[in-house]
Amino acid sequence: MVEPILEEWKPVVFASFFFSIFSASFRIMNKRLLYVCCMLVTAVAVFSRCFHGEAKETPDLRGEQFAGAETCISCHKDIYKTFITTGHYATSRPATDSTVQGSFAAPGNVFYYNDSVKVVMEKRDSGLFQVAYHKDRQQQIHRFDIAFGSGRKAQTYLYWQDNKYFQLPVSYLVPAHSWANSPGFPATQVRFDRPIPSTCFGCHSSMVGISDTKMVGLSISEEFEKNKVVYGIDCERCHGPAAKHVDFHVEHPLEKKAMFITTISSLNNQQKLDMCALCHSGIRPAQKSPFTFKPGNRLSDYIFMDIGPAPKATTLDVHGTQYQLFTSSKCFLKSNGTMNCSTCHNPHVNERNDMQAFSQKCMSCHNTDNHTFCTMKALAPALLKKNCIDCHMPALPSGNITLLVNGHDSPVPDYIRTHLITTYQEETQKVVEMLKQQQKHL
Ligand code: HEC
Ligand code: HEC
Ligand code: HEC
Ligand code: HEC
Ligand code: HEC
Ligand code: HEC
Ligand code: HEC
């Protein structure tokens, strides 16, 4: 069966190339911090409902082949329970009190452009708004409709008007606990006129309904169907359509072998990498709708890997060039095609900031017994074992993304965890210094 919405994507493929150029100035913030507890609330809300794995009343926006993540709960409860704490699950959501991270209370709800121009984040009876003022006279007002970014590092917001999505001028920067000028927006002038292309939804949602696409001069103008978004990156975004799988297992509850779903262990290593690289190889021009990608498909059939500026191994990109960085690392190159993202990441679990757990993964290959352990002699092995990551995969400023934050004279740099696993002398010095300080205080 053909999904009407998937079909409508086609013209967008061309749009994405233009977008990739325009997006160079369009980057978001970084650095990790603790997670949003509101997701627990969501979890409770979701679990308080009853699920039987039966056909849902409202069909999935993506078509009959899709069952929707909530259908999976009845048989994959443990996975679902931890999955809703991940960045993937929450990377796009309707903007509400609980999903928008920043403050709506004075004085923390203002972003100043200069002495007379400001944007105030206001909670009114009809919702959440960004309101632009000139000398305290209201100039423009737009609603927070969608929040992009789970809130690990940054959130940016979309409003809906004339069948389009536009980005709001003020974003939220988690590490600074502050509202900030949206990336690529002018610092002196309030703008509400930047349309958000479907490309953003391609990596940050599981489906968006597009109603029209046309060329306006050299750029693409897209129109969307209102409220037609499958938020977050859900189970079927990674595993492919699963309605048949659900129907079969509902009818055959004793069957223990997975039917009508791609078994990940049957894929080769490149196919496993491609599942993640679809969204983790930076913003590249697309050949096909990313929403149609299924496990086993080839990345090179979906993305033009050679057109436009190539993300280099040394370039850090907020939109994640983890694929290029990791596959340039010696660990990957010298382990005979056995390593992929799942060597270190469980995509169903939020393992953020657990450096010891990640270090255990390193030591599954690099251990003291087989003499492949760290050759650094300045610290005792017991100390090294606590955190391989900050020395060999340091969080580095990406260089090309900065945001202007209230109270900071210069832009705040964007930090990202490099996936080029190698030796970083400067970062090592910092870690050694930090450990020495800690020892002093013991
Ligand atoms: C009625 C029960 C049932 C429902 C509902 C169900 N599954 Fe499954 N699923 C199974 C069984 C049984 C297996 C095989 C045992 C296992 O791996 O847990 C399985 C296995 C899987 C696998 C493993 C494939 C592999 O790599 O081995 C995936 C992926 C999967 N299901 C996805 C989903 C998704 C996505 C949904 C919701 C859209 C879903 N399932 C809903 C019963 C179900
Ligand atoms: C090719 C896929 C891709 C596209 C296209 C894309 N993003 Fe992202 N985006 C990502 C990935 C991956 C991350 C997480 C990067 C990381 O932490 O390493 C991210 C991070 C973000 C974040 C920060 C979330 C957080 O807390 O870490 C925001 C906000 C964001 N993107 C907004 C956008 C907007 C707006 C667009 C469209 C202009 C867009 N993205 C287009 C893949 C994409
Ligand atoms: C970001 C992509 C991604 C998302 C989202 C995702 N999975 Fe998976 N899933 C994977 C990968 C990759 C594997 C294989 C893991 C491995 O090889 O260790 C996997 C394995 C599985 C398996 C079989 C192995 C196991 O852990 O039992 C099941 C069942 C499964 N997923 C169900 C789900 C369900 C249900 C959801 C949604 C609640 C979901 N997945 C969401 C990527 C994803
Ligand atoms: C459909 C696009 C897409 C796919 C496919 C995808 N990711 Fe992501 N991933 C994202 C986006 C967007 C973010 C940023 C989430 C946020 O807002 O915090 C992200 C964030 C992450 C993070 C950090 C988030 C956290 O919770 O700490 C990890 C780790 C990650 N992805 C690993 C993977 C792996 C491994 C795979 C393949 C199994 C994969 N991703 C597949 C889009 C994707
Ligand atoms: C699947 C096994 C495996 C895992 C897991 C693994 N590595 Fe490696 N790593 C290797 C191999 C093989 C080499 C190449 C050794 C050689 O021949 O020099 C290597 C090389 C390295 C090097 C030398 C790189 C260079 O540029 O000289 C460092 C540093 C390193 N690994 C650190 C790590 C860290 C830190 C982790 C965890 C985040 C990790 N490795 C996880 C297999 C692995
Ligand atoms: C050798 C282990 C290892 C492998 C393999 C690996 N990662 Fe990571 N990844 C890490 C560690 C460690 C972190 C840092 C986690 C943290 O800070 O909480 C991380 C963080 C991330 C983040 C968050 C980035 C940020 O700056 O917050 C994303 C996204 C991600 N990985 C995606 C991927 C993808 C996609 C792949 C496969 C192409 C991959 N990783 C392969 C170890 C690995
Ligand atoms: C304090 C920083 C630091 C920590 C922590 C650390 N390393 Fe290292 N590692 C280094 C440096 C620096 C080198 C290069 C050798 C030197 O300068 O002494 C190195 C060398 C290595 C090498 C050999 C690289 C080569 O050239 O062949 C491997 C493998 C490695 N480390 C793995 C690990 C693993 C695994 C862990 C965690 C158990 C770890 N390292 C913890 C700083 C660190």
Domain count within the chain: 1
pLDDT at 278: 95
3-state secondary structure 201-264: HHHHEEEEEEEEEEEECCEEEEEEEEEEEEECCCHHHHHCCCHHHHHHHHHCCCCCCCCCCCCH
The answer to whether the peptide bond before residue 197 is cis (omega within 30 degrees of 0) is no
CA-nearest residue, atom 16 of ligand 7: 376
Residue 87 has a pLDDT of 97
pLDDT at 29: 30
Lowest mean pLDDT segment, chosen from 1-15, 84-98, 416-430? 1-15
For residue 356, being part of any structural domain is answered with: yes
363 CB within 6 A, ligand 7 = yes
Burial class (CB in 10 A: 0-12, 13-18, 19+), 73: buried
- Specify if 25 maps to a domain: no
Residue 2 lies in a domain: no
Q: 318 CB less than 6 Å from ligand 2?
A: yes
Which pLDDT tens digit goes with each residue over 152-171?
989 999 999 999 999 999 99
Domain assignment present for residue 171? The answer is no
In a domain, 296, yes or no: no
- Whose structure tokens read 């609330």? 41
Q: How many angstroms separate the alpha carbon of residue 375 from the centre of ligand 4? A: 32
Residue numbers of the domain that contains 389 = 322-440
Give the pLDDT confidence score for residue 436 in this predicted structure. 84
How confident is the model over 37-77, as pLDDT tens digits? Answer: 333 333 333 333 333 344 445 689 999 999 999 999 999 99
Q: Structure pTM?
A: 0.91
Residue 79 CA to residue 4 CA, distance in Å, equals 30
Q: Which of 274, 280, 346 to mutate to test the pocket of ligand 4 (most atoms within 8 A of CB)?
A: 280
The C-alpha atoms of residue 302 and residue 51 are separated, in whole angstroms, by: 35
Nearest C-alpha neighbor of 396 from the set 432, 362, 420, 376: 420
Interval between CA 24 and ligand 7 midpoint (Å): 34
Q: Is residue 378 part of a domain?
A: yes
Q: Is residue 203 part of a domain?
A: no
Buried-state track 31-46, b at ≥16 Cβ within 10 A, e below 16: bbbebbebbeebbeee
Nearest CA to ligand 3 atom 1: 347
Residue 399 lies in a domain: yes
